[in-house]
Amino acid sequence: MKVSKKIYVWSFLFGIGIATFILIELCKKNSLNVERIYSNYIFPFIAKALGGVFGLLPFSIWEIIYVTLLLIPIYLIIRLIYLSIRRSKEIKLHALKYIKTAIILLLPAYFLFNFLWGFNYYREPLVNTLGLSYPKFEKRDLIELSKELIYKANALREIAPEDVNGVFYLKQNFSELCESAEEGFGYIKLRNIPLNKKYDNTKPVALSKLMSYTGITGMYSPFTGEANINIDIPKPTLPVTICHEQAHQRGIAKEEEANYVAYLACINNPNKEFQYSGYYLALNYLMNDLYQEDKEEYNKLKSLYSEKLRRDLNYSYNYWKTKEGPIEKIWDKINDSYLKSNNQSAGVSSYGFMTKLLLAEFKNRIEN
């Protein structure tokens, strides 16, 4: 490549990186414009286009890309070790070549990530869009809402199907669950946020059993528009996980907001199994908060769990306990860094902030 052409290429690449950085800084200060222009106007066209292309395939393209991206660094490290042993003089040249290639790939990927989806991280907070406000924390609200959800979860669990071990079971197969989840979004209205569109781009992860060792239940791909689901996870959380990733698919980027929208999509779904899954997720987060706040009250409410609900919780606990290890810890740190770099300062703790939205809705409901 000629020197002038190299300068042009590198200038173009760094120009993309700088322009993306500037756009992000502008987005941080203009959430209303991001909401109105990007999230509600530009992004739905992007999501529909990606769904139209990648939704035609029954398998996840992103899973193939993701696994490849994980294997490439391993290959490069092995190759550099080999070169250091056999041809030590060439190792610096090869290392520099790999760094250049990484930059050439990462800068356009940085732009595409944000343009195809990432700008949604800077949209107007959902609590504002809903016309709610985060109330001053009061323990009695947490207790009352937790109690309400326990009764609802108990009642739904009583009529739910079970497997031979007495654990919650789903009658629908994966494609039927995805269809039901898509329909569920049509039953909720969040003011100006278009949630009722169908994308038909939810995929099962072929390596779900391995994925569980990372602690990840699902993953949305901004590059392909695919909602990738770990289908090996305990069944009580599978419907709400599908809805969570489909919420991302609809431009709800922040984790606590995707959790909350998934909860709404489940509890408003006519399918009772989805309703149970929604209450199951919300109850877990609420009770975790109550445990930190008041262990005595936590134990009182826990005694209200039905035997069937207890079985599901115990099964889920034991399932994830067997998946704990160094891989899960590494992935947790990676996810934490990713979220913090995308306008979620609390990192992985942001998932649990769903309780703030639940309590805001609860407070609004009892006051009106």
pLDDT at 2 exceeding the cut of 70: no
86 lies in a domain?
Answer: no
List pLDDT tens digits, range 254-274: 999 999 999 999 999 999 999
**277 confidence band (pLDDT: 50, 70, 90):** very high
**280 confidence band (pLDDT: 50, 70, 90):** very high
153 lies in a domain?
Answer: yes
List pLDDT tens digits, range 161-212: 999 999 999 999 999 999 999 888 888 876 556 676 777 899 999 999 999 9
pLDDT at 94 exceeding the cut of 80: no
pLDDT of residue 198: 74
**99 confidence band (pLDDT: 50, 70, 90):** confident
Average pLDDT over residues 43-63: 93
pLDDT of residue 186: 83
pLDDT of residue 196: 63
pLDDT at 157 exceeding the cut of 70: yes
pLDDT of residue 366: 81
Average pLDDT over residues 72-87: 75
Of the chain, the percentage scoring pLDDT greater than 90 comes to: 65
Q: Which two tokens stand for residue 333?
A: 């740190």
36 lies in a domain?
Answer: no
In terms of pLDDT, which residue wins out, 192 or 340? 340
pLDDT at 304 exceeding the cut of 80: yes
pLDDT at 20 exceeding the cut of 90: yes
Distance separating the N- and C-terminal Cα atoms of the chain: 69
The pTM assigned to this predicted structure is 0.92
pLDDT at 3 exceeding the cut of 60: no
79 lies in a domain?
Answer: no
- Nearest one of 271, 304, 270, 268 to 286, comparing CA atoms: 304
6 lies in a domain?
Answer: no
SS3 352: helix
Q: Which two tokens stand for residue 10?
A: 């590198």
Q: Do 254 and 349 contact (CB within 8 A), yes or no? A: no
Helical H segments across the chain, by residue range: 3-29, 31-33, 43-54, 61-86, 91-116, 126-129, 139-158, 174-184, 208-211, 238-249, 255-267, 272-293, 295-302, 307-321, 326-340, 354-367
Of the chain, the percentage scoring pLDDT greater than 70 comes to: 95
For residue 219, the enclosing domain spans 126-367
Least confident window among 246-250, 289-293, 336-340: 336-340
Average pLDDT of the chain to the nearest whole number? 89
Q: Do 292 and 179 contact (CB within 8 A), yes or no? A: no
Least confident window among 37-46, 69-78, 227-236, 321-330: 69-78
Q: Do 185 and 196 contact (CB within 8 A), yes or no? A: yes
179 lies in a domain?
Answer: yes
Average pLDDT over residues 124-148: 89
SS3 179: helix
Average pLDDT over residues 296-306: 96
Residue 42: CA count within 13 A, CB half-sphere: 15
319 lies in a domain?
Answer: yes
In sequence order, the 6+-apart residues with CB closer than 8 A to the CB of 107 are 13, 14, 16, 17
In sequence order, the 6+-apart residues with CB closer than 8 A to the CB of 106 are none
Average pLDDT over residues 275-291: 96
Highest mean pLDDT among 43-47, 154-158, 196-200: 154-158
pLDDT of residue 229: 98
d(CA 84, CA 93): 11
291 lies in a domain?
Answer: yes
d(CA 55, CA 61): 10
Q: How many domains are contained in the chain?
A: 1
d(CA 163, CA 27): 48
Average pLDDT over residues 39-61: 92
Q: Which two tokens stand for residue 303?
A: 């005694």
Count of other CB atoms within 10 angstroms of residue 161: 11
pLDDT at 79 exceeding the cut of 90: no
pLDDT at 87 exceeding the cut of 70: no
**101 confidence band (pLDDT: 50, 70, 90):** confident
